[in-house]
Amino acid sequence: MPVAKLNDPAPANPTAQKMWELCRYIDGHSDSRLDLEALAARAGLSRFHLQRTFKAVVGVTPKQYADGRRMAKLKGGLKRAKDVTEAVYDAGFGSSSRVYERADTRLGMTPNQYRRGGEGVQITYAAEPTALGLMMIGATDRGICFLQFGESEDELLAALQKEYPKAQVQAMRRPDPQFRAWMEALQQHLAGRTGSAANEIPLDIRATAFQLRVWNYLQSIPPGEVQSYREVARGIGRPSAVRAVARACSSNTVAVLIPCHRVIRGSGELGGYRWGLARKRALIDLERRVV
C-alpha cells in the first residue's frame, strides 16, 4: 500500500500551514539526520513549542513523523534492493541496529522478516466468547497483531492466516500469564467495566505513515464520541483525503484497540464496519453508557 503524500492545499491556519510545510521538508530529507533543534529553528519556534504544536497539528511528534517516513522508505527499499544492508542505508539509517531498535513499532517484524513477507514470525492465537460475540486475538512476543470478531473459530483463523500468510500461526497450547491478562482486559472493556487495562495493551501492527496518522488520531477521539470521515480527514490535516481515511479505517485489523467504530458518515449514518454494524452500534452505545 503506497504511503500518502502531503500534497493537499495548505490549511488556512498559519500555524498549521507552517507545520505541514515542515512535514514536506521532512519528507524531502528523510534520508538525512534531522534533530529537533534544527527543525525548531526552521519553523521559528522553540524546541518545546515545536514539539507541542507539531503533535497537536499532525498527531505525532516530529521524531515519530520522521521515523515513520524513513521506515516507509525502508519498506519500499526492502522489496527493491539487492540486500537488506543496501536498503537500510538508502533509507537514511546509520546502521542496521538502528532499524532493529525501531522495528517493533514500525515494521512489526525485523527487516529480513518483512522482506520475506512475514516468514519466520510466530503468532499465537486464542478465541473466546465475549459480549459482542466470538473474539480471536493473535499476538507476537511484542503485542497484539490481530483482534477480530466472527461467527466461528475457523472463520477467524482463516482471516488471521490470510493477514499473515507466511507467519507461523499456532494456537495457545498452555496458559500464558501475559496473554491471559490481555484477554481479561478486553473482556472487562467489552463488558463496560471502567478502569480496565485495555488501553495499555501493546500493539504489534504494520502501517503506512498515513495509516499510522489516522489510527493515532482515532485513539484521540474520546470514548462515546463519534466523528465523520471528513472530520477525521480535517483533524489530520488532509481535508481532501476522506476516501483514504475510510480505507485506513477499513484496513484496521485490531478491533476496539484502534477504535475505528468511532467514525461514521457525515449524514449521521453508521457507515461501514468490517465486523458488522450491529457491533459498531453496540460499541458506541457501550462507551456512551460507561461515560
What integer is the mean pLDDT of 187-207? Answer: 76
More confident of the two residues 140 and 99: 140
- Report the SS3 class of residue 258: coil
Q: 177: Cβ–Cβ under 8 A, 6 or more apart, which residues?
A: none
- Beta-sheet strands, E only, within the chain: 122-130, 133-139, 144-150, 168-171, 227-228, 263-264
Residue 24 lies in a domain: yes
Give the CATH number of the domain where residue 157 resides.
Answer: 3.30.160.70
Which pLDDT belongs to residue 104? 40
What is the pLDDT confidence band of residue 75, given thresholds at 50, 70 and 90? Answer: low
Domain span at residue 22? Answer: 14-111
Mean pLDDT of 218-233: 90
Q: Are residues 91 and 141 in the same domain?
A: no
Q: Is 23 a catalytic residue?
A: no
Q: What is the CATH number of the domain that holds 98?
A: 1.10.10.60
Are 195 and 265 in a shared domain? no
Enter the pTM of the model.
0.60
Say if residues 42 and 55 touch (Cβ distance below 8 Å): no
Q: Is residue 2 part of a domain?
A: no
Please tell me the predicted confidence (pLDDT) of residue 117: 53
Of residues 157 and 84, the one with the higher pLDDT is 157
What SS3 state is found at 131?
A: coil
Name the nearest CA neighbour of 204 among 110, 126, 89. Answer: 110
Residue 75 belongs to a domain? yes
Q: Hey, what's the cell of 176?
A: 500464558
Higher-pLDDT residue of 147 and 266 is 147
Mean pLDDT of the chain: 77
83 and 20 inside one domain: yes
What is the pLDDT at residue 116? 54
One domain for residues 130 and 92? no
Same domain, 138 and 176: yes
The total domain count for the chain is 3
Distance CA 234, CA 242 (A): 9
213 and 196: one domain?
no
Tens digits of residue pLDDT in 35-67: 888 898 888 888 888 888 888 777 778 887 777
* Maximum C-alpha span of the chain: 57
Catalytic residue selected from 23, 145, 249, 260: 260
Q: Is 149 helix (H, G, I), strand (E, B) or coil?
A: strand
Is 147 a domain residue?
yes
Q: Which of 112, 164, 102, 103 is nearest to 139 (CA)?
A: 164
Alpha helices, DSSP H only, in 29-152?
A: 36-43, 47-58, 62-80, 84-90, 96-106, 111-115
What is the separation, in whole angstroms, between the first and last Cα of the chain?
Answer: 36
CATH of the domain at 229: 1.10.10.10
- Residue 94 shares a structural domain with residue 25: yes
pLDDT for the residue numbered 60: 72
Does residue 3 belong to any structural domain of this protein? no
H-run or E-run covering 287: helix 277-290
Residue 275 lies in a domain: yes
- Concatenated DSSP letters for 194-215? TT-SGGG--B-----HHHHHHH
User: Of 179, 200, 221, which marks where a domain is finished?
Assistant: 200
* Domain end residue (candidates: 146, 176, 200): 200
What is the β-pairing status of strands 144-150 and 263-264?
unpaired
For residues 172 and 221, membership in a common domain is answered with no
Q: Which of 172, 200, 228 is the last residue of a domain?
A: 200
